[in-house]
Chain A
Amino acid sequence: NAGVTQTPKFQVLKTGQSMTLQCAQDMNHNSMYWYRQDPGMGLRLIYYSASEGTTDKGEVPNGYNVSRLNKREFSLRLESAAPSQTSVYFCASMPQGASYEQYFGPGTRLTVT
């Protein structure tokens, strides 16, 4: 099992460019999440998908869109990148049940110039 995988690992964008961050999990988990991590601020939830076919906003959704393509894949899109979106992005997944443990991917380091 690869767990949660993310591509790319690193990306540099110019202001105004668009890109999609990919996330996939092979653990048959129902729920998936996108977070961003900035120095001194901890992880903040951008969007989540409680199950295939549903998505909802988290704490910091502005400037982002998501797609839950199927049970395995959850992508995050930046339509017009801004320097404020420079961050490390983590995808996570969680199995159905009462434990609420989340499993994280290795992250994507994004720089917007």
Chain B
Amino acid sequence: EDQVTQSPEALRLQEGESSSLNCSYTVSGLRGLFWYRQDPGKGPEFLFTLYSAGEEKEKERLKATLTKKESFLHITAPKPEDSATYLCAVQAATDSWGKLQFGAGTQVVVTP
């Protein structure tokens, strides 16, 4: 059974204090790993898709990396506006309908 585990559950950072979020996954063949950002009371917003081990994607202060068993979301010099819950999801190679398995998320709070 596909499984996605995110850690830590919550992270409190000072503005400018870089850190990483972890997403460990178990899937019988990976089609894609997705990162989403979710603000309180809103729907998830797409950030990145990673397809193969060694791949990296960047967007502003966020950088996502992928290995065969986990993905990291690095937040460099975060600002208060980076406060959100970050969700990781995987799509199995056997699926072509967009069926995603989500982790529970990491809640990030960045204080000034």
Contact = CB atoms under 8 A, between A and B. Distances in A.
Contact of A104 (B32, B41, B44): B44
* Interface size class of chain B, counting residues whose CB lies under 8 Å from the partner chain: 20 to 34
Contact of A90 (B44, B49, B104): B44
Size class of the A contact interface (CB-based, 8 Å): 20 to 34
Nearest to A44: B102
B42 A58 contact: no
A31 B97 contact: yes
Contacts, number: 57
Nearest to A90: B43
B78 interface: no
Interface in B49-107: 49, 87, 89, 91, 97-100, 102-105
Nearest to A50: B97
Contacts of B99: 45, 48, 58
Interface in A73-113: 90, 92, 94, 99-107
B102 A104 contact: no
Interface centre among B36, B49, B87, B98 (most CB of A within 10 A): B98
Nearest to A106: B43
A12 to B, nearest CB: 17
B4 interface: yes
25 contacts: A4-B43, A31-B97, A31-B98, A40-B104, A41-B104, A42-B87, A43-B89, A43-B100, A43-B102, A44-B102, A45-B99, A48-B97, A56-B97, A90-B44, A92-B43, A94-B98, A100-B32, A100-B34, A100-B91, A101-B46, A102-B34, A103-B46, A104-B43, A104-B44, A104-B45
